[in-house]
Amino acid sequence: MKRTKREQLEIFYDEQVWDHQTLDEFIQEKVRQYPEKIALIDREFEFTYQEMYDEINHFAYKFYQDGIKPDDKVLIQLPNCFEFIFVLFALFKIGAIPVLALATHRKVEIKGVLEASGAVAYIAKDKYLGFSYSQLINEIEGELGCQINQYILGNSKQYKNFYSANRNDYDYRYSEELIKPSYNNTALLLLSGGTTGIPKLIPRRHCDYIYVAKQCAQRCGLDEHSTYLVALPIAHNFPLGCPGIIGTLAVGGTIVICSVTSPDEIFPLIDEQDITHLALVPSLAKMCLDYQKDNDEDDISSLKLIQVGGALLDSFTAQKIEEQFECKLQQVYGIAEGLICMTDKQDGNEVTYHTQGTPISEYDEIKILDDSGKEVQQGEYGELYVRGPYTIYNYEHAPHIKCVDDDMYFMTGDKVKQQPDGNFRVVGRIKEMINKSGEKILPNELEDVILGHPNVDEVKVIGVPDEVVGEKICVCIKENTNINLNELRNYLQQQGIANFKLPDLIKKVPVWPLTTFGKIDVNRLKE
C-alpha cells in the first residue's frame, strides 16, 4: 500500500532526526549528567538539577494522586516563577498535556481555550499584578456550568497542604503504574499569537520540541557555563524552547527567572547573576535601550548574546542593540507552529542587521510562492511555505483549518525573500500588506526608511480602508514625535521611495497598543 506524503516524512524523521526520548526522559538524563549544578534561580530560591527534579516528582505524584491521567489537558496560566517549570515537567512525566496560556489572557480567551482543549484542570497564581485568577476561573466555571479541577498557587491552606504533603514518601511509588507517553506523542499545546478571536491550539511533540531546543542551543552557543535569563513569559514558545529553558537545560546551563517583564527587573538580574544569554521581543528591546541610557549603573558586561524575535526588528534598532549593549545580536524568526530561523554568531553586520538568518535544521524544507502558487525567483518576495521535523501539519481539534498544502508544507502567511547568500529576509504578514489602487506596499519597507529620520524613534505603517483607492497608507508615530506629513513625504522622496508608496496620513498615538504576545496590535491602531 502506497504511503502518504506525511507518512513518508514521519518515517524519515523517526529514523534520521528525532531522539526517541520524552521530555521527562530528557530531564532525567540531564539530572544524571549535572546533579549538583545549579539549574534554576528564582529570586532567593536556588535549585540544583537534582533538587529541581525532586520537586518535579513531587508535583507529578500529587497530580497523579488527584486523578490526572495521560492525555488529559491541563491549562497553565502562570506568570514566570519556578513553579511553572515544576508543574510543566510534572505533567510531562505523567503523560498529561499542558496548555500554555499567558498571564495576560483574560476571560474570553481562557474560556475559549478551556472549551477548545477540553482541559480538566486549571493552574494559576491566586493573584498577579493585582489581577485575581481565582475569581476569573470561578466566573468561567459559572458560565460554562461545570467544575474544573483548580490548583491556585498562593498562600491558601489548600495549596500549602498540596505542596508540603508526603514530600519524602513519593519516590517512584507510582512509576510502575504510569502509562508512559511515547516520544512522538503530543507533549504540550501552545497558543497561537493572533490579534483577534480565540487562540488556536498548536500541538508540539516531545521529540520535535527537544530537537528544536537542542538545535537552537547550538546556534546560540549555549554551554554548561551559560546563564539564560527568562525575561519573556514562559508560555511563549520563544523563551521556553528556542532555545530558552529547555535548550539551556540541554547543555547543563543555568536558568534565571525574571518575574516581571520590565527593564528595571531585567538589568539588575543581568548584573547580579552574570547573565550570558537573553531573549527579547522588539518592543521590549526598545524599552531596554531607553532604560539603559538613563540607568547605566548595572554591569551588563557578562552578556554574550541577545536574541530578538517574535516580531520584525528594524535595522536601526538592531545596530543600536549591539552598539549600546556591547554584545552580539541574534535575529530570530519563528512560528509557534514550527520553523525557526536565526542569524549566526559569526555573521557580519549586513546579515545580522538586515536578515533573520537561516533555518536551524538541515532538514527544514522551504519554498516561496507567488500569488498564483508558483515558486518565485531567488531574491523575489513571496509567501513562505515550510515543512520539517518540528513543523506541525494541523491544529488541535480544528479539522476545518487547512494549514498545509498537499505536500505537507505549512503555509505561514509571511512575506519573505531569500538573499543570494542564503539568508532570509522577512518583511511581514501578507494580510498586513497595503493594497493601494492595486499597488502592493510592504509596511516594513517604509518603516525601515522612516526610522532613518532623526526625529523618528518608533513607527508602524498600516493600511486604512478608503472607498476610492482601497487602502490609504497611514504612518503611526508617538504623539511627541516632531514631524508632519509634508516633511515625512519629502524625506521619503529624498530617500528614493516611489510616489505611490508615500504616506497619505499620519496618526499620532500616546502609547503603542500591544497584543498579549508583545507585538503592536495593528487592529487597535486602525480603530
List the domain range (segments joined by +) for residue 461: 433-525
| CATH code for position 521 | 3.30.300.30
Give the pLDDT confidence score for residue 195 in this predicted structure.
46
- Work out the average pLDDT over 502-525: 83
**pLDDT of 175 over the 80 cut:** no
Enter the DSSP assignment of 100.
E
The beta-carbon contacts of 287-290 under 8 Å, at least 24 apart in sequence, are 287/262, 287/263, 288/263, 289/317, 289/320, 289/321, 289/324, 290/263
**pLDDT of 167 over the 60 cut:** no
Show Cβ contacts of residue 438 under 8 Å, excluding neighbours closer than 6 positions: 470
Measure the CA–CA gap between 255 and 99, rounded to whole angstroms. Answer: 22
User: Is residue 365 a contact partner of residue 435, using CB atoms and an 8 Å limit?
Assistant: no
pLDDT digits (tens, 9 = 90+) for 22-37: 999 999 999 999 999 9
Q: Is 96 exposed, middle or buried (0-12, 13-18, 19+ CB in 10 A)?
A: buried
Higher-confidence residue of 413 and 438: namely 413
Show Cβ contacts of residue 13 under 8 Å, excluding neighbours closer than 6 positions: 363, 389
- Work out the average pLDDT over 60-84: 93
Give yes or no for a cis peptide into 70 (omega within 30° of 0): no
Measure the CA–CA gap between 184 and 172, rounded to whole angstroms. Answer: 23
Measure the CA–CA gap between 481 and 472, rounded to whole angstroms. Answer: 21
- Work out the average pLDDT over 5-9: 95
pLDDT digits (tens, 9 = 90+) for 357-387: 999 999 999 999 998 899 999 889 999 999 9
Give the pLDDT confidence score for residue 165 in this predicted structure.
56
- Does residue 112 fall inside a structural domain? no
- Does residue 164 fall inside a structural domain? no
**pLDDT of 235 over the 70 cut:** yes
Higher-confidence residue of 171 and 377: namely 377
- Does residue 481 fall inside a structural domain? yes
- Work out the average pLDDT over 76-92: 96
- Work out the average pLDDT over 467-474: 85
- Does residue 439 fall inside a structural domain? yes
Nearest to 508 by CA among 466, 472, 480, 473: 480
pLDDT band at 479 (very low <50, low <70, confident <90, very high): confident
User: Is residue 56 a contact partner of residue 83, using CB atoms and an 8 Å limit?
Assistant: no
Higher-confidence residue of 322 and 176: namely 322
Give the pLDDT confidence score for residue 443 in this predicted structure.
84
Q: Which whole-number Å values give the CA distances from 171 to 40, 51, 167, 182, 431, in the listed order? A: 21, 13, 9, 22, 52
Enter the DSSP assignment of 3.
P
- Does residue 485 fall inside a structural domain? yes
Give the pLDDT confidence score for residue 386 in this predicted structure.
98
Neighbours of 135 (CB within 10 A): 12
Question: Chain-wide mean pLDDT for the chain?
Answer: 90
- Work out the average pLDDT over 319-324: 96
Q: Identify the H or E element spanning 265.
A: helix 263-273
Three-class SS string for 126-165? CEECCEEHHHHHHHHHHHHCCCCEEEEECCCHHHHHHHHC
- Does residue 58 fall inside a structural domain? no
Count how many domains the chain has.
Answer: 1
User: Is residue 479 a contact partner of residue 507, using CB atoms and an 8 Å limit?
Assistant: no
- Work out the average pLDDT over 221-227: 97
pLDDT band at 12 (very low <50, low <70, confident <90, very high): very high
- Does residue 505 fall inside a structural domain? yes
Phi, then psi, of 521 in degrees rounded to 5: -85, 100
- Does residue 509 fall inside a structural domain? yes
Measure the CA–CA gap between 491 and 451, rounded to whole angstroms. Answer: 11
3-state secondary structure of 198: coil
Q: Is 88 exposed, middle or buried (0-12, 13-18, 19+ CB in 10 A)?
A: buried
pLDDT band at 253 (very low <50, low <70, confident <90, very high): very high
Listed range (59-63, 94-98, 391-395, 410-414) with the worst mean pLDDT: 59-63
